[in-house]
């Protein structure tokens, strides 16, 4: 694939699919910089032979996720792992970064789409209702 084709598809989908080779790593960094410029979340699927890694990073969007949204992301990943015959673990949702290192390759793009859906619901609520409406309630 060509650079413009890969980046064009990433813009349409909202995430980039980039392997670990040098050329695709460069394209992934370029897409990250676009995300920073446009202030939207960076998401990436890194395919391997049978597994893929999924990453969602909120730092380019300049937003911090509230605890409720972080919990929803974790629940979505836990649901995926509960459905798998193997017990692959090692994922984390911390602050503005979600990383899932072992997702069956055939389910990786569906997972990143679901995770971005959760993040985008938060971002849309933030824009429509303002920070007070989406901030976690004070305890």
* Residue 124 forms part of a structural domain: yes
pTM: 0.80
* Residue 138 forms part of a structural domain: no
Confidence category of residue 7, pLDDT binned at 50, 70, 90: very high
22-57 exposure pattern, b = at least 16 Cβ within 10 A, e = fewer? eebeebbebbbebbeeeebbbbbbbbeeebbbbbbb
Q: pLDDT of 30-83, one tens digit each?
A: 999 999 999 889 999 999 988 999 999 988 888 788 888 888 888 888 888 787
* Residue 30 forms part of a structural domain: yes
Pairing of strands 16-17, 42-47: parallel
Q: In what order do the strands lie in the sheet with 42-47?
A: 16-17, 42-47, 51-57, 97-104, 92-94
* Residue 51 forms part of a structural domain: yes
Give, rounded to a whole angstrom, the gap between the first and last alpha carbons of the chain. 51
* Residue 137 forms part of a structural domain: no
CATH of the domain at 46: 3.10.310
* Residue 108 forms part of a structural domain: yes
* Residue 136 forms part of a structural domain: no
* Residue 14 forms part of a structural domain: yes
DSSP codes, 9-52: HHHHHTSEE--SSHHHHHHHHHHHHHHHHHT--EEEEEE-SSEE
Pairing of strands 51-57, 97-104: antiparallel
- Structural domain boundaries, residue 45: 3-131
Share above pLDDT 90 across residues of the chain, in percent, rounded to a whole number: 36
Q: pLDDT of 66-75, one tens digit each?
A: 888 888 888 8
Count of domains in the chain?
A: 1
CA quadruple 100, 103, 107, 109: dihedral sign: positive
């Amino acid at each position: 694939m060509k650079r413009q084709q890969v980046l064009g598809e990433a813009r349409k989908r909202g995430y980039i699919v980039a392997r670990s080779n040098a050329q695709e790593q460069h394209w992934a960094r370029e897409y990250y910089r676009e995300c920073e410029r446009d202030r939207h979340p960076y998401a990436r699927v890194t395919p391997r032979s049978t597994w893929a890694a999924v990453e969602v990073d909120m730092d380019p969007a300049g937003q911090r996720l509230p605890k409720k949204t972080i919990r929803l992301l974790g629940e979505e990943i836990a649901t995926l792992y509960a459905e798998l015959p193997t017990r692959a673990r090692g994922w984390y949702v911390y602050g503005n970064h979600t990383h899932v290192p072992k997702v069956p390759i055939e389910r990786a793009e569906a997972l990143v789409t679901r995770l971005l859906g959760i993040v985008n619901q938060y971002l849309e609520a933030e824009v429509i209702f303002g920070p007070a409406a989406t901030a976690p309630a004070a305890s």
